[in-house]
């Protein structure tokens, strides 16, 4: 059995998109150890094909060469092959420092001497699943969809902690690390929450706690307890458990959107400056709302997708013009 070290990407959505690659590698007999930063490690613990997860002690930014050398010494002799999923120079350093004989990844950031097997980066933006799965060297990459598995007992324990009941709430994930051009307006989220019969659980990072409170406060003022703001109060692992047991989820194009899709949760995914042609939620239970492809929306959004953090034209029509009643109708259709 080949012993493989997989160097994971640093973003939650990207981590989810790597699952089909890992499933392929496991199916052909490779024993998989994933090296991941702590904030994405829980995603890999939800992949049964992963035998071990090593949390890297590296901070964001900088080579941190001393720490990588020390980790490389710890890993020497343990692996036959490394799959380097990020395109950065620093991500390719560790497998070389660990003397792993076969090191596979995409060309980028002067990594020629660090990788033994190099793939050319595609010119156009391919679907992310296919982008990562190509590192397996196999064909027929488009059919796979990410799958995450959560043990029911783990989810139930998290629900009990927050006083939630399985299938008796709706999750909102209103944040997006990338920027406001990917975030449906807080006022729209509030309007939607006020119209739902089930309570709403708001999930996000500590940085998104204020955004979630801005959504929850006006709703709770008239319907006390309708919105439960857990942003910044859960670990990523706990957030996965809460999402796995929800009746449905409404989100922007974000990491938690991809988590929900991989868990098979009914969902509404709202796109603005980004494109569902590149990073769609890969689930039959997902409904995508994107005005770019809505023939009834006039005038057409020629500016989308712009892939900008903030709307360069200042109007953010791509998100502002998706109103709460439309999302409510879509939500009813997926539940």
Total residues belonging to the chain: 335
pLDDT given at position 140? 66
Of 48-57, 160-169, 248-257, 293-302, minimum mean pLDDT range: 293-302
50 forms beta bridges with 32
Query: Model confidence over 106-161: pLDDT tens digits?
Result: 997 778 889 999 999 888 777 889 899 999 998 766 668 999 999 989 899 989 99
User: Does pLDDT of 69 surpass 80?
Assistant: yes
Distance CA 178, CA 216 (A): 22
Distance CA 85, CA 319 (A): 32
Structure tokens at 112: 């020629």
Query: Model confidence over 279-318: pLDDT tens digits?
Result: 899 999 999 999 999 988 988 898 999 999 999 999 999 9
Q: Would you say 34 and 3 are in contact if contact means Cβ atoms under 8 Å apart? A: no
Structure tokens at 173: 């994930």
- Which of 163, 172, 127, 165 has its CA nearest to residue 146? 127
269 forms beta bridges with 251, 288
How far does the chain reach from its first CA to its final CA, in angstroms? 43
Ordered structural domains, the chain, with CATH:
3-136 (3.40.50.2000), 152-334 (3.40.50.2000)
pLDDT given at position 115? 95
Q: Which residue's entry shows tokens 């996000």?
A: 204
Distance CA 17, CA 296 (A): 32
Helix (H, G, I), strand (E, B) or coil at 251: strand
pLDDT given at position 143? 67
Distance CA 242, CA 257 (A): 13
Q: Which residue's entry shows tokens 């933006």?
A: 125
Structure tokens at 265: 């949760």
Helix (H, G, I), strand (E, B) or coil at 207: helix
Residue ranges in the chain assigned as alpha helix (H): 12-17, 19-27, 41-45, 65-75, 89-97, 128-133, 152-162, 186-195, 209-222, 236-244, 255-263, 317-320, 324-334
- Quote the percentage of the chain above a pLDDT of 90: 81
User: Does pLDDT of 4 surpass 90?
Assistant: yes
Distance CA 152, CA 244 (A): 9
User: Does pLDDT of 179 surpass 90?
Assistant: no
């Amino acid at each position: 059995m080949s012993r493989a070290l997989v160097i994971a990407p640093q973003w939650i959505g990207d981590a989810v998109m790597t699952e089909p690659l890992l499933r392929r590698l496991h199916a052909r007999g490779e024993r998989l150890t994933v090296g991941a930063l702590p904030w994405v490690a829980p995603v890999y613990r939800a992949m049964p094909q992963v035998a071990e997860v090593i949390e890297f002690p590296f901070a964001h930014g900088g080579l941190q060469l001393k720490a990588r050398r020390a980790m490389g010494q710890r890993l020497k002799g343990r692996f036959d092959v490394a799959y380097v999923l990020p395109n950065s120079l620093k991500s390719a350093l560790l497998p070389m420092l660990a003397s792993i004989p076969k090191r596979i990844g995409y060309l980028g950031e002067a990594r020629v001497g660090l990788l033994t097997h190099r793939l050319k980066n595609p010119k156009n933006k391919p679907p992310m699943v296919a982008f990562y799965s190509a590192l397996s060297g196999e064909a027929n990459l488009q059919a796979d969809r990410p799958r995450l598995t959560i043990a029911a007992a783990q989810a139930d324990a998290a629900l009990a902690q927050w006083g939630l009941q399985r299938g008796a709430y709706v999750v909102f994930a209103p944040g997006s690390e990338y920027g406001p051009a990917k975030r449906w307006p807080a006022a729209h989220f509030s309007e939607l929450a006020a119209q739902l019969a089930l309570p709403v659980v708001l999930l996000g990072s500590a940085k998104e706690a204020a955004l979630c409170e801005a959504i929850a406060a006006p709703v709770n003022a008239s319907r006390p307890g309708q919105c439960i703001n857990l942003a910044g109060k859960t670990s990523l692992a706990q957030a996965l458990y809460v999402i796995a047991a929800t009746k449905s989820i409404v989100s922007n194009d974000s990491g938690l959107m991809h988590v929900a899709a991989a868990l098979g949760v009914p969902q509404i995914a709202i796109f603005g400056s980004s494109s569902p042609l590149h990073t769609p939620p890969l689930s039959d239970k997902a409904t995508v709302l994107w005005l770019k492809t809505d023939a009834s929306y006039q005038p057409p959004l020629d500016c989308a997708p712009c892939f900008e953090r903030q709307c360069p034209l200042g109007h953010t029509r791509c998100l502002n013009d998706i109103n709460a009643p439309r999302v409510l109708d879509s939500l009813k259709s997926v539940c």
